[in-house]
Amino acid sequence: KNQVEQSPQSLIILEGKNCTLQCNYTVSPFSNLRWYKQDTGRGPVSLTIMTFSENTKSNGRYTATLDADTKQSSLHITASQLSDSASYICVVSRNGSGNTGKLIFGQGTTLQVKP
């Protein structure tokens, strides 16, 4: 079954600290893995997209890693800010027919950054 599992479900950290969010997937055949940030009451915003051949990608203080062999990804946030408080969603796209309709979404990790 094609699934995306994220951990932890929620996380509280102090401003300025670093944190790492995890994503494990069983989606096959694999096309790409995406991380999105969703602020409360808003739509998700793309942070990174990684294909099979990429094992790391950065976007400012956000760094995503991908291990396609173990089917694991992580999102590392450096020097957290209050504005990083949001839900972070891991999304995996299947390869094949070219129909990109079915992206497999994880349930998200809710991050709260406290002053």
Partner 1 sequence: GAGVSQSPSNKVTEKGKDVELRCDPISGHTALYWYRQRLGQGLEFLIYFQGNSAPDKSGLPSDRFSAERTGESVSTLTIQRTQQEDSAVYLCASSSGPINSPLHFGNGTRLTVT
As measured in angstroms, the least distance from the Cβ of 57 to partner 1 is: 12
- Whose structure tokens read 């999304």? 91
Q: Is 84 in a helix, a strand, or coil?
A: helix
The per-type count for the chain, helices as H runs and strands as E runs, is 0, 11
- Which residue's CB is nearer to partner 1, number 106 or number 113? 106
Whether omega for the bond prior to residue 44 falls within 30 degrees of 0, making it cis, is no
- Which residue's CB is nearer to partner 1, number 18 or number 112? 112
- Which residue's CB is nearer to partner 1, number 46 or number 112? 46
Strand partners, 22: 7, 74
As measured in angstroms, the least distance from the Cβ of 16 to partner 1 is: 28
Q: Which positions lie near partner 1, rule CB under 8 A?
A: 31-32, 34, 36, 41-46, 49, 51, 89, 93, 95, 98-103, 105-108
